[in-house]
Amino acid sequence: MTDDEFRPKLGKIGSRGSKAGKRFAGQLRAAINRAGGQSRRGGRFTGSRIGRGGAAAVLLKSRDRYAAYRQQRVVVKARLVKLAGKGSDGARAHLRYLQRDGVTRQGEPGELYGPDSDRVEGKDFIDRAEGDRHQFRFIVAAEDGIAYDDLKPLTRRLMVQMEEDLGTKLDWVAVDHFNTGHPHTHIMVRGKDDRGENLVIARDYISAGLRERAAELVSLDLGPRTDHEIEQRLLQEMEQERFTGIDRRLLQKRDNHGLVSPDGRDVFRHTLHQGRLRKLERMGLAEEVVPGRWRLDDELEATLRRLGERGDIIKTMHRELTSKGIARSAADYVVHDAEQNTEPVVGRVVARGLADEIQDRHYLIVDGLDGKSHYIDIGKGEATEPTHDGCIVRITSRNNEPRRVDRTIADIAAANGGRYNVDIHLRLDPSATERFAETHVRRLEAIRRATGGLERQPDGTWIIAPDHLDRVADYERQRARAEPVVIERLSSIPLDKQVGFDGATWLDRELVSNQPTALRDSGFGREVREAQIQRQQWLIAQGLANEEQGLVVYRAGMISMLRQRELNRVAGQLSEELGLSYAEARSGDQIEGMLRSSVELASGKYAVIQKSREFTLVPWRPVLDRHVGKAVSGTMQRESVSFTIWHQRSGPSVS
């Protein structure tokens, strides 16, 4: 026998396995399957238990689901937020927003609290988190949270239990909100454990474990749900125009033909299902094909979820408008769709709030010049500037198509072997100015920072791919998800304050415009029309306008005169505060100095540029947001400035 013919078999000599044992094992698995169990053979690894709290989550998920049926119900939403880049600024803004006015039962600002104190400073928490990789945000809302006079003790007990489950002390702050129909608590947890290591929490614990712990505590406080309470909740669900637990059970009960029948196990369940099916029938979402057999609409869940969201939005609009003393018909409520509503919305900001508190998506309620009240999803909170109540804004849907500047870059690069820089641009287009070409460079920089998909060589030359316009379209679509609309603040001064304001106001710009915004003779449109009439009388009294044959004629240069009045007045106030003289910036002047701060005027935002003995005011540009305290220079051109920002190491950059 050769070596190749030898095949060893491991195991006891003569053992071929027990057939009886195999038969018994097969019978056992079959019995388990018949009983509704599952034979588990090497389940796929999902990583859901990696991190702290994995073992606790497994224990909580294995509990008797029928016993949990009577538990008090609690909703827990969770999000892990990365703090790199702008994440830290976003966390700071989110914390400020959680402490906004009107969130307590008394309508006061929310107060942060912690494990041992009823009042803590958000700044201290953010400072401690400096350098953290991430943080956790939780929203905890008990279904019967209204039964609690104070949510702080419940939150503290929950966080103590969470620390036990995770095996580490936690650094956290919380704030309670009572400004909706369901009182809830926002909790922010640092992404560090008590040893200073990155805190990693098992996905199972985040998705289910924490909710189970909260339900336990609420059940201890309020007692288990009684049969009567459960039945009343289900009867309320039967008539709701949103996706409910009854709908979920009906979808699960559909047979192979897509049909469902009311549950006949007991009278109450049958009545509940039959009543819900009749409600769905009236909504056009269910059809009785034969007596007792129903076909559900394929889009039932999606449709009901949209209806539920819309119902919540209408309630929010009514609450905010009523609280501000604004009477509007529900027929004039408009839920803005950025993809379908292409016309700009101009109006007064009534309220700003969180549409999705865990994802930090904000909304604006705008009382429009068209007489309607608009609910507008404005996207991520950190992506939009603050918009206080009463300011006048214009909101337009973001255009997702490549811009003209993108097409110019692509054309120039295509003619130069896929390369673009300012010199190449000026050589190909002699009519272009250097300043104009630099706007193209700024566009490329913005895309590179957001996507990392553009290559810039050390000499400032950009490598432009053949599919550059497709990449730009992807960038714009990605940006539109975070910022679906563009918000232009037309005036920071409320309408009633503009009537007698000594400065150039939005009312003035509308009065002298060749294409003023259309006003509807109802709602805010009517208020603006009345304010314009009063403003005209003020302008006539100031000698800035005359009434001739029933028409108001405005003095030439009226807007510039009013703007200069306010500018001089504010400059005088700043001169006293800073102890510096004011130097007016004129067209063509070279502006140099330190960017000290900004001031908000009726005519817009201005930058305060300080020299050793004097300061000047120039129109603000968004790029300056990141450069307060730095040296800047630029040339004043009419009503704008092209700035150069001086960086300590890398030198100047043009903006």
Distance CA 205, CA 186 (A): 18
Average pLDDT for 278-292? 93
User: Does residue 250 fall inside a structural domain?
Assistant: yes
Distance CA 495, CA 391 (A): 8
Q: Over the range 391-423, which residues count as b (16 or more CB within 10 Å of their CB) and which as e? A: bbbbbbbbebebeeebebbbebbeebeeebbbe
Say how far apart CA 378 and CA 482 lie, in whole Å.
8
For 135, list phi and psi in degrees, rounded to 5.
-145, 160
Beta bridge partners of 395: 345, 487
CB atoms within 10 A of CB 124: 12
State the pairing for strand pair 581-582/614-619.
Answer: parallel
One domain, residues 202 and 240:
no
What are the strands, taking DSSP E only, across 83-236? 134-142, 172-177, 184-190
Strand locations in 510-589 (E): 545-548, 551-554, 581-582
Residue 359 lies in a domain: no
Query: Do residue 246 and residue 200 come from a single domain?
Result: no
CA dihedral of residues 438, 444, 445, 451 (deg, nearest 10): 170
Query: What is the rounded distance in angstroms from the CA atom of residue 52 to the CA atom of residue 202?
Result: 5
Q: Please give the mean pLDDT across all residues of the chain.
A: 85
**292 and 424 within one domain:** no
At residue 501 the predicted structure's pLDDT band, cuts being 50, 70 and 90, is very high
| Chosen domain end from 171, 189, 222 | 222
Residues 51 and 210: beta-carbon distance below 8 Å: no
Domain check: are 133 and 67 in the same one?
Answer: yes
Please write the tens of the pLDDT for every residue from 616-650.
998 888 777 777 888 888 778 766 666 665 544 44
In this model, does residue 372 exceed pLDDT 60?
Answer: yes
The pLDDT of residue 36: 45
* Better-scored residue on pLDDT, 156 or 81: 156
* pTM over the 0.85 mark: no
pLDDT bracket for residue 62 (50, 70, 90): low
CATH assignment of the domain containing 171:
3.30.930.30
For residues 165 and 64, the model is more confident at 165
Mapped onto helix, strand or coil, the DSSP state of residue 451 is: helix
**What b/e string do you get for 520-551 counting C-beta neighbours within 10 Å, with b at 16 or more?**
beebbbebbeebbeebbebbeeeebbeeeeee
CA distance 140 to 188: 11
Report the CATH number at residue 587. 2.40.50
Q: What is the pLDDT of residues 435-450, one digit of tens each?
A: 899 999 999 998 998 8
C-alpha to C-alpha distance for 633 and 651, rounded to whole angstroms: 12
Q: Is residue 590 part of a domain?
A: yes
Answer yes or no: is 167 within a domain. yes
| Token digits of residue 567 | 């500018």
Same domain, 263 and 218: no
Query: Are 61 and 180 found together in one domain?
Result: yes
| 207 confidence band (pLDDT: 50, 70, 90) | confident
Q: Give the end of a domain, one of 298, 322, 352.
A: 298
Confidence of residue 8 (pLDDT cuts 50, 70, 90): low
Q: Helix (H, G, I), strand (E, B), or coil: what is residue 234?
A: helix
Same domain, 137 and 77: yes
Q: Residue 464 pLDDT > 90, yes or no?
A: yes
pLDDT value of residue 333: 94
Q: Would you say residue 632 lies in a domain?
A: yes
State the Cα–Cα distance between residues 122 and 13, nearest whole angstrom.
73
Query: How many angstroms separate the Cα of 19 from the Cα of each of 12, 23, 28, 31?
Result: 16, 6, 14, 18
Q: Are 104 and 113 in contact (CB under 8 A)?
A: no
Percent of all residues in the chain with a pLDDT value above 70, rounded to a whole number: 87
Do 571 and 628 have their domain in common? yes
| Tokens of residue 17, six digits | 């396995």
Written as six digits, the tokens of 574 are: 């700043």
Q: Do 83 and 190 lie in a common domain? A: yes
Q: Which amino acid is at 567?
A: L
Looking at the domain assignment, is residue 387 inside a domain? Answer: no
Neighbours of 107 (CB within 10 A): 11
Residue 65 has pLDDT above 70, yes or no: no
**Per-residue pLDDT tens over the stretch 359-371:** 778 999 999 999 9
Model confidence at 49: pLDDT above 60: no
Which burial class, exposed, middle or buried, applies to 201 when counting CB atoms under 10 A from its CB (0-12, 13-18, 19+)? buried
Per-residue 3-state assignment (H helix, E strand, C coil) for 33-86: HHCCCCCCCCCCCCCCCCCECHHHHHHHHCCCHHHHCCCCCEEEEEEEEECCCC
Domain count for the chain, please give it: 4
